[in-house]
Amino acid sequence: MQYQDSDCQRLGRAPVAPWGRLALLGFGLALALGLTSVDAQQRAPGTVAATARTEEVTPEVAAAVRAAVETWARGNVPIDEVRRTPMPNLVEVRVGKDILYVDEKAQFILLQGELIDMKSNRNLTRERLDEVLAVDFNALPMDLALKQVAGNGKRHLAIFEDPNCSYCRKLRADLVKLDNVTIYTFVYSILGNDSDLKSRKALCAADKGRAWNEMMLTGKIPGNSGTCNNPLEKIRALGGKLNVTATPTIFFADGRRLAGYLPPAQFEKMLNEHSAN
């Protein structure tokens, strides 16, 4: 599964391009492995850790790692050095003053504590967390959401969207083309300063679902005052309870979570796989 992360602000965490995260990577891995600079200084000379770093990788491994990282990063990573680490089968890739860590088979990279499959561009950590963070779909307070039904509506999903989220708008353009689906939209205004006002105006429209779709697809904001009663505070509280820290975030009928955008074919495949509840 290829994730295309939201370009909208995460709460407490902003998405960054793969090669823009390099500065944070070394420290994160050191914490994960328990290898701090103090640990390294306290190791006695002659230990495995002290000698392993002096060993060079084979030319074949170095070439494979360089090629894999450059391909994954689309040529934006000028690699200066590839060398071994104290951990078996893990190599260090130096890019200027930044350090990356890749397995010797050149398939996986550890980035900000998240394990990425470079060949498929799958975020394996994110996929596992999506499983861990699954919810009881039937317990969601659907009365707070905008309900839209297409066809027989037999496939169900719930989505948290912000009106200022460009990937939400991109996903919405895909969602309106789906058939036989029931969509529960939780209007989750957490991004721009005017997110709340836009959300309130949509929720105060005579046809809320149509107003929301139109605003997300065309940018047209309803012309009302936006002063009606609305569930925005309750939805923000719900999002906090469910640990929804990015938009779009989707919950499928079996409780599986998806944070971010997937291309239409992949999204519908996932919708079909996780529609049974």
* pLDDT value at 13 more than 60: no
Task: Name the residue among 69, 71, 53 with its Cα closest to residue 61.
Answer: 69
Structural domain containing residue 143: 133-273
d(CA 137, CA 179): 20
Shared-domain flag, residues 161 and 200 = yes
**268: Cβ contacts below 8 Å, ≥ 6 apart:** 178
Stretch (H or E) spanning 183: strand 181-187
Q: Does residue 207 come out as left (phi exceeding 0), alpha (psi in the -120 to 50 range) or beta?
A: beta
Look at residues 198, 210, 143 and name the one whose alpha carbon lies nearest to residue 172. Answer: 210
Q: What mean pLDDT value characterizes the chain?
A: 83
Point out the domain boundary residue: 120, 143, 160: 120
101 and 145, same domain (yes or no): no
Give the per-residue pLDDT at 6: 54
Flag whether 31 is in a domain. yes
Give the global pTM. Answer: 0.66
Crossing angle between the packed helical segments 195-203 and 232-241, to the nearest 10 degrees: 120
pLDDT above 70: residue 46? no
pLDDT at 14: 34
Is there a cis peptide before residue 78, judged by omega within 30 degrees of 0? no
